[in-house]
Amino acid sequence: MKEQLKNTIRRINSGFLNTLKIWLREYQVIFTDVGVLIVMIAAPLVYPVLYSLIYKPEIITDMPIAIVDLSRSADSRQFSRQLDATQELRVAYMATSMTDAIKQFKLRNVRGIIEIPSSFSKDIAQGNQTNISAYADMEFFLYYKTLLLGTSFVTLETGKQIQFRNLVQQGETLQEADAAVNPIHIEDTSIANAVGGFATYAIPVALMLIIQQTLILAIGIMAGTARERHARGTLVPLDKNKMGTFRLVIGKSAAYFTVYALLCVYLLGIIPQMFGYYRLADFKELAALMTPFLLSCIFFGMTLSVLFKNRESPMLLFLFTSFPLFFLSGIIWPLSNFSNIWLIVREIFPSSNAVFGYIKMNTLGASITETSHEITALWIQTGVYFLTACLVYYVQVKLSERKNKEIKTFPINSIKQKLAGRLSGNTIATTSGVK
């Protein structure tokens, strides 16, 4: 009984030491491979800063527009000045005609055109409705949004001023006129994105995709490198000691997890602090979400790594999937408009649920309970991809063991005799050729 207990303890210690050995060896592979360091360390460090700097203003302000003032009246000039006074728009050109304004638009001197009709002042004086034509630049959606916001604000305010003035002229008091013009006071409060900025909207998606894609790419590069370096192109090295499947999966994943856990502190803690993004989630909530996300990405990457025969193959997968995953996240296009097949496809990738969970926690202030759907989905993916990773590595371990036995049992003496025979034959052939 004691001997059996000692053997069990010995096997546990041996398994732990082998797992630690694999863990440390994976660190060595990561920090001695320049390509892996660029993908795994440099890209997550640089990309968030680069994206945040590009989109740092968050919103477009003082967008240049051209005004075609066909009225040329005091009212139209006042309307133009109000447009120029908005945060969104800047009157950069006063066109003499629509043709002149279109010419400036084609030269990219302006990004929108406002046309004031010739009957503008006359319609206002007679109490008739007048029309303002706004021509937006639709090649970039934010230009359209900016022109629409600025023009709508000035149009509504101008309408209220005209109505207020008419009521006062009709004998209404200032208080009565104000109540008639503004019967309902609306307080506009933006939830989750107070500034309405593009960076606050897109960066959460980018962060999750950076973590997932760089992690899978790095694992794939290391797998391709292993096949290039190991004897007979095996994924698992032909070690003398037996490399168990469970030990390989746990050892490798531990190395990847610890590296990316530190990167997550930078990506989800320091980056939002640096650029003033929303930070409503605390460490406990983020840990509850990111732990299954990292594990599912790691096991998913290890499952896919068996497909890569060289270092270049993972890059093709990276380029092919990154942009579609941005759309599948459900941020660009609402999930309610997705077909069932695409709803199923998006569940394959851990980033889909991670994006929604991160936005709920960090920008809407949701708790772990309120994000339980996304967290549960990520844990399910972790379990499924752990099993698939163990399966593919089990096959690779068995393949490596079989090739190792073949090498050991291969008749070395016969190889030497064949080589000696070939060498002597080549010598005779060379000699006869000289003669």
The yes-or-no verdict on residue 155 having pLDDT over 80 is: yes
Determine the Cα–Cα distance for residues 395 and 404; give it in Å rounded to an integer: 14
- Vertex 257 angle, CA 254 and 261, to 5°: 140
pTM of structure: 0.76
Q: Which residues contact 168 (CB under 8 A, 6 or more apart)?
A: 174, 177
Determine the Cα–Cα distance for residues 75 and 119; give it in Å rounded to an integer: 11
The yes-or-no verdict on residue 231 having pLDDT over 80 is: no
Determine the Cα–Cα distance for residues 149 and 159; give it in Å rounded to an integer: 15
At 419, which amino acid appears?
Answer: L
Q: Which residue has the tokens 């002229």?
A: 169
The yes-or-no verdict on residue 116 having pLDDT over 70 is: yes
Average pLDDT over residues 241-269: 87
Q: Which residue has the higher pLDDT, 121 or 189?
A: 121
* Cα diameter, the chain: 129
Q: What tens digit of pLDDT does each residue of 344-386 get?
A: 988 999 998 999 899 888 888 888 999 999 999 999 999 999 9
Give me the domains of the chain, ranges plus CATH numbers.
Answer: 14-54+195-409 (no CATH), 63-181 (3.40.1710.10)
Phi, psi of 92 (to 5 degrees): -100, -15
Q: What tens digit of pLDDT does each residue of 172-184 get?
A: 787 877 777 777 7
Band of the pLDDT at 253, cuts 50, 70, 90? very high
Band of the pLDDT at 435, cuts 50, 70, 90? very low
Q: In Å, how far from its chain's centre is CA 210?
A: 5
pLDDT of residue 139: 78
Q: Which residue has the tokens 């890209």?
A: 43
Band of the pLDDT at 398, cuts 50, 70, 90? confident
